[in-house]
Amino acid sequence: MTSVQKNFVEGNKEYAANFTQGDLALPPSQKYAILTCMDARIDPAAAFNITLGAAHVIRNAGASARAAFRDIVVSQNLLGTTEVLIVKHTGCGMLTFDNEGGRSAVKQNKGDKAAEEVKDLDFLTFQDLEEKVKEDVEWLKSKAVEEGITITGWIYDCKTGKVRSVV
């Protein structure tokens, strides 16, 4: 067992020993979803006051609305959520490279066969944090499937732990 797996199993043992919330309903009780980045410095439950069972937390590299579209549609149409908060953050890794950089990193790390597999992959990187929050909110709002859904955009500051409204 790797140290990661050991930590995982031991931590879960402790968690399960005190676990009392096994009867929560499947649909989120507060009927909303938060889309944020997979960045390891973000603790969504703590930073955004999300109690267990209250909301869907969707995470991917850069909090991309396009990459999360399937999850958002499922959240709303199968599980009844009616609001989305898109939360990108300062110092996001997706600000630091582009498609060409992503592909060449794969080629360097994994070789030609791997590079071929990602040759058409859009890494969905971005240059301007605030603009990308606005653009993702607009893009999501433009979808017919989002009619009647409240969609807002936010930036979380990894240095201060504070979140601010963008749109």
Single residue of 36, 39, 81, 125 touching Zn ion by CB under 5 A: 39
151 binds Zn ion (CB under 5 A): no
The nearer residue to Zn ion, 37 or 50, going by C-beta atoms, is 37
**Annotated binding-site residue? 158:** no
58 binds Zn ion (CB under 5 A): no
- For the CA atoms of 147, 144, 166, 161, the dihedral, rounded to the nearest 10 degrees, stands at 80
Other C-beta atoms closer than 10 Å to the C-beta of 19 total: 10
Site string for Zn ion, 84-103 (x = CB under 5 A): --------x-----------
Is residue 84 within 8 A of residue 36, CB to CB? The reply is: no
Number of residues that bind Zn ion (CB under 5 A): 3
Stretch near Zn ion under the rule CB under 5 A, chosen from 21-29, 38-46, 78-86, 138-146: 38-46
Of 139, 55, 128, 122, which Cα lies nearest the Cα of 88?
128
**Annotated binding-site residue? 92:** yes
**Annotated binding-site residue? 43:** no
The nearer residue to Zn ion, 50 or 124, going by C-beta atoms, is 124
Bridge partner residues of 89 (DSSP)? 156
Query: Residue 126 Cβ, how far from Zn ion at the closest point, in Å?
Result: 10
Round to whole Å and give the CA distance between 21 and 54: 12
Single residue of 37, 47, 65, 166 touching Zn ion by CB under 5 A: 37
Residues, the chain:
167
Is residue 57 within 8 A of residue 36, CB to CB? The reply is: yes
Burial class (CB in 10 A: 0-12, 13-18, 19+), 74: middle
Pairing of strands 150-156, 163-165: antiparallel
Query: Known binding site for Zn(2+): residues?
Result: 37, 39, 89, 92
**Interface residues toward Zn ion, by CB under 5 A:** 37, 39, 92
